[in-house]
Amino acid sequence: MIHVRVIQHPLDFIKPGGTSRGVLNQKPTWYLHLTDENGNSGWGECSLIPKLSIDPVDELEKVLADWNNQKLSSEELNESFDHARFPALSFALETALIDLKQAGEGILFPSEFTNGKALIPINGLIWMAPKADMLEQVKSKLEAGFTCIKLKIGAIDFEEELEVLKFIRSQFTANEIEIRVDANGAFNPQDALEKLNRLSAFHLHSIEQPIKQNQWEQMAQLCASTPLPIALDEELIGISDSKQKAACLDAIQPQYIILKPSLVGGLSAAKEWIDLAEERNIGWWNTSALESNVGLNAIAQWTFTLNTDMPQGLGTGQLFKNNTPSPLYMENGQVGYNPNESWSLL
């Protein structure tokens, strides 16, 4: 049997994070701490993004309360909730059980990454803000050694956002700095193509979710005529059935998909998306959903096992005042794992 401990640990942003859905100052987070009869332990993170995560909070809190300080089997834990309705909880339980199986040393997927011999290239995240602030963020990321940056767009004046991109391209060519933009569904279907045409002048790698999800026909039209590659992100949330996943990809035919395990139901659910995408020659990359180092660690280790050299969205570990100290570190636009450093969990 497994003893379950639930620890509420809301994450406080060092600096408010601006998106087209609003500004984030804090995000709800719970840690799962599992302990087996041999004293081994495993950690998982259930972390929600307000207005984006679909886990119903009241019901989630009830499940967690029911689990807390109980002794349950892994089967009982997995059967006590509807995984399709609780993707963040699915991710937390799945990774906690993997950690438990590996004896709870924080190494879920042993590899050259966890041995400290390999790094994962990542993009540097630029939050939505007034133009001057965004430019400062860009300069900071470039000074930190990033060669791939991702800009959140769609919340401030579009012309100002174009000015930021124009500045970056005046300093660095597409061969020197890869630029990804994320609209978080901010564009209207009626003028989205016009905006994509204007954005394409800056030789961008891709744009994430230009229009809101669940508009498959309009998104398919954009993907068919876009001057720059489109990546689906929010579009994948809430689709758990494998046939529905295939139907989504077949209907829209995007150039890329982006996997956030906390939002799509865990690592195995994300891998199903990846397999379906590869069958259709659709590119992909993984990203955290603003988890603390606990969730980020699981995603990074898993991602390394997938043997991709594309920059991943795994640079969010430095966003929070009260993050959990861990062996993860950032170096020259890459994330690494120092096996000589220890975890500092509650």
Q: Divide the 346 residues of the chain into consecutive groups of 10 and give the mean pLDDT of each group.
A: 97 78 85 96 95 96 98 97 98 98 91 97 86 85 90 86 90 91 93 96 97 97 98 97 98 98 98 98 96 97 96 85 93 94 81
Q: What is the rounded distance in angstroms from the CA atom of residue 65 to the CA atom of residue 165?
A: 47
Q: What is the rounded distance in angstroms from the CA atom of residue 131 to the CA atom of residue 239?
A: 36
Q: Which pLDDT score, from 0 to 100, does residue 317 have?
A: 67
Q: Which of 143, 196, 203 is nearest to 169 (CA)?
A: 203
174: its two tokens: 């597409």
pLDDT in tens, 278-293: 999 999 999 999 999 9
Q: Which pLDDT score, from 0 to 100, does residue 15 have?
A: 80
Q: Which pLDDT score, from 0 to 100, does residue 208 have?
A: 96
Q: Which pLDDT score, from 0 to 100, does residue 21 have?
A: 64
Instruction: Count Cβ neighbours within 10 Å for each residue of 51-73 and write b for 16 or more, e otherwise.
Output: ebbebeeeebeebbeebeebebe
Q: Which pLDDT score, from 0 to 100, does residue 265 have?
A: 98
Instruction: Count Cβ neighbours within 10 Å for each residue of 233-245 and write b for 16 or more, e otherwise.
Output: bbbbbbbbeeeeb
Q: What DSSP character marks residue 235?
A: G
Q: Which pLDDT score, from 0 to 100, does residue 131 have?
A: 81
Contacts of range 135-139, beta carbons closer than 8 Å, 24 or more positions apart: 135/164, 135/167, 138/164, 138/167, 138/168
Strands 178-182 and 148-152: parallel
Q: Where are the domains of the chain?
A: 2-101, 120-337
The answer to whether 227 and 196 are in contact (CB under 8 A) is: yes
Q: Do domains 2-101 and 120-337 have the same CATH topology?
A: no
3-state secondary structure of 284: strand
CA distances from 299 to 62, 296, 314, 315 (A): 26, 5, 8, 11
Question: Is 2-101 a domain of CATH 3.30.70.60?
Answer: no
What percent of the chain is modeled with pLDDT above 70? 98
Residue positions annotated with a catalytic role: 152, 260
Q: Which pLDDT score, from 0 to 100, does residue 135 have?
A: 84
CATH superfamily of 120-337: Enolase-like C-terminal domain (3.20.20.120)
Q: Which pLDDT score, from 0 to 100, does residue 128 have?
A: 75
